[in-house]
Structure 1
Amino acid sequence: MRTEKEKALDTYLAAAARTGDRQALGRLAERWHPRLLAHAYRLTGEKQLAADTAQEAWTDILRDLPSLDNAAAFPAWALRIVSRRCARSIRGRQRHRAGEAALAREERHGAETDNEPETQSEMATIGRAIDELPRRQRAVLALFYTEGLRVAEIAAAMDIAPGTVKTRLMHARNKLRARLEGETT
């Protein structure tokens, strides 16, 4: 979760980059590329597609940054660009992606059952439960808890209505609760 200092730094860097400051742009990219890449991965489920999509998103970000009116909105704005790029990529590769994702889940599930000790840490259990959520719920959950974005910021980042964000959060929490309670009983 980003602190107030980090938010202020991001706002400053976005404002400076918007005016053409190359050093600020470099620092902004250094700070935000891993987050944008992680967001792309949450949405696509494929490392290479996520890397390609995040890189393409930077092209859009660099092109449109001078027109960003509110530098404080950079995180949601950049995440939204990534979300749109991911949606475009997913639409184009939907059939291929579905087959690969099914295979990857089977391989991951097989590896989990073969290699895990009987007693698992709570974080590993929660991580697996999160991995089983639908990708859209995973993305909203991660933006809310990991990135510390508010519902309105997530809505802007994912280009969906705030009510949809709340619904996805509710369903994700309910599924996690049911899954985790089922494992403890």
Structure 2
Amino acid sequence: MERMKDISDQVLLFGISENNDEDAFRILFERYSGRLFNLLYRMTQHYEDSNDLLQEVFIRVYKNRQKCFKMKNFKGWVYTVTLNLARDYIRLHKRRREELLDEKREKTGGIDLLNNSANEEIKRKILKALKKLNKKYRAVFTLRDIEGMTYQEISKTLSIEEGTVKSRLNRARLRLTRELEGTL
């Protein structure tokens, strides 16, 4: 099992797709789960739901194991699945959060509970500005500035040129700066 950790994703995916190899699946899970969970948590800000979404990512990996084995860029695909699940989660829960905030404001006589902490207010503004970004810019920004991936890793993950990664990141940062001007 120790030697399997050094095996490429393609070989592990072959074992999963052809032999339902549980050890290979476990290694693939261990290889990606930490970074994918961090990405999900940063996007959802909810620990339990991030765990649920992570499980859904790997359910999709298992269900698509035949397709995954034939992919040239499994890492890019699994990050795309993760980002899409996080976006779906945010979209579905956005309305509910807004309703809960409205209820709290009504109960407190209109006091904005978010202003209790300056850091929370700043964080909220940044997240709001981030949500306004086009998803291609948000993905690059999240992978680089939040996940800490290199330009080359992002290029491979998203199947785009390294120069495109740099220009999208620059545009994302400029748009975030413009969006946040005068609010922080």
Q: Same fold by TM (over 0.5)?
A: yes
5 Å-filtered alignment, 1:3-152, equals: 9-19=8-18, 20-98=20-98, 106=115, 109-110=118-119, 134-135=130-131, 139-144=139-144, 146-148=148-150, 149-151=153-155
Aligned to 2:158: 154
- Measured in 2, the distance between the counterparts of 1:96 and 1:133 equals 19
CA contact (8 A) 2:73 2:156 kept: no
Count residues in correspondence.
Answer: 157
| Contact map agreement 1:143 1:154 (CA 8 A) in 2 | no
Instruction: Call closer, same or farther: CA 1:69–1:112 in 2, change over 3 Å.
Output: same
Matched-pair contact (CA < 8 Å) for 1:61–1:78: yes
CA shift in 2, pair 1:107/1:176, >3 Å: same
Cα distance between partner residues in 1 of 2:74 and 2:80: 10
Deviations 1:112-141 (A, max 9, x none): 99xxxxxxxxxxxxxxxx878615656523
- Deviations along 1:5-51, one digit per CA (max 9) or x if unpaired, are x9963343233323322111101101111111112123323333222
Taking the aligned partners of 1:70 and 1:89, their CA distance within structure 2 comes to 28
Shift in Å, 1:170: 1.6
Q: CA deviation at 1:155?
A: 6.1
Partners of 1:37 and 1:54 within 8 A in 2? yes
Q: For 2:130, give the aligned amino acid.
A: P
Give how far 1:86 is off. 1.8
State the structure with more CA Rg: 2
Aligned residues of 1:57 and 1:82 also touching (Cα < 8 A) = yes
Partner Cα separation in structure 2 for residue 174 and residue 83 of structure 1 = 22
* Unaligned runs of at least 5 residues, structure 1: 1-5, 114-129, 157-161, 179-185
